[in-house]
Amino acid sequence: MSNPAQAPGDVASVADGRADFDFLMGRWNVRHRRLRTMLAGTNDWYEFPGTCVAQPMLNGMGNVEEHDFPTQGFKGMAVRLFDPARRHWAIYWANSLTGILFPPVFGRFENEEGRFYGEDTCNGQPVEVTYLWSRITNSSCRWEQAFSPNGRHWETNWIMEFHRA
């Protein structure tokens, strides 16, 4: 376990997970695919372009990612904070349509994938939500969101394919 007195960037502090999102910092072009209707058993996807800028905050203990969806008429923002005691991240989402900070998902990276879980609502009903970060390289990565009404059956409803700008 790392010593909390160590300075950010020390090998021990980086190994605890706080550097997990370093791959995402910078500018990206993003291809989005979303289900038109979620949790309805349909396979009706639509695609749209976007851009993303991610930057570190709080000496690496957090980061902010802003998304622009020019054809959709809104922007989005993820705020991530690392908890060194629990060695996991909390990810919060907000968008310019509601101005509301959505409930966080919590998780970490293992075996080159980041898995995050939390609770949300869909169509006014409570759901479990998961985010998956995968296929991470220096120039690309993939993010997926899935909902479950019961914790057993999951439906992926949003996929982002990131390519370094």
For 82-130, the pLDDT digits (tens) are 999 999 999 999 999 999 999 999 999 999 999 999 999 988 899 999 9
Homologous superfamily of the 11-164 domain (CATH): Calycin beta-barrel core domain (2.40.128.20)
| Average pLDDT for the chain | 91
State pLDDT tens for residues 50-86.
Answer: 999 999 999 999 999 999 999 999 999 999 999 999 9
Residues 102 and 107: their CA atoms lie apart, in Å, by 16
The predicted pLDDT at position 13 comes to 56
